[in-house]
Structure 1
Amino acid sequence: MKLFACLLHMKSPELSQKYRPDHLAFLEEQHKKDNVTAYGKFADGAGGLIIYRAETLEDAEALVKQDPYVEKEARTYEIHEWVMNSEQWS
């Protein structure tokens, strides 16, 4: 499995607030399915970051498009394959 970093850029603070419970439920469900490794918001309110686990970029993007924030156009997204460098911690 590969890792994909998804930046969710703030588009609508109002819609983000409205759909936050649905977004968090979606992330928790994906985490339980082992599709999400980590997630969190940016302290400056600009959006957030989600690390997805998937076979391909297309698979990861299909998950991203199911996120209520993306479906309801509260956020835009940018997704990149991410290679974690764990050797630095050895």
Structure 2
Amino acid sequence: MVAQDDDCPAQCQTTREPVRPALSRAMDIALSLMVLTVIALVFGGVVLWRRDGYRKQATLMFVLAAVLAGNVVIWVAPTHEGKTLTGEAAKASGTPK
């Protein structure tokens, strides 16, 4: 709730956050789904690894999990300048991240 001018002094007034554009929300959702997929792939790979005859499929699941995890790291890890790809995408879409 936004405070009214009469209710409190200027120090306690809050402002509303700007609405985030769809690109930024979509990026957050995509990265979250990728992390959940990595967890599911690793869990499934462990289950298949324990079964006889499914080692090849389990290995492929581990490889895919590693590729997805690498993509997430690329998008969220800061560079030596402190910038991330998600932050740069948010700037390009018009909102600070």
Greater strand percent: which structure?
1
Q: Given the two structures, how large is their TM-score scaled by the length of structure 2?
A: 0.28
- The structure showing larger relative contact order (alpha-carbon pairs under 8 Å, at least 6 residues apart) is 1
Structure number, greater radius of gyration: 2
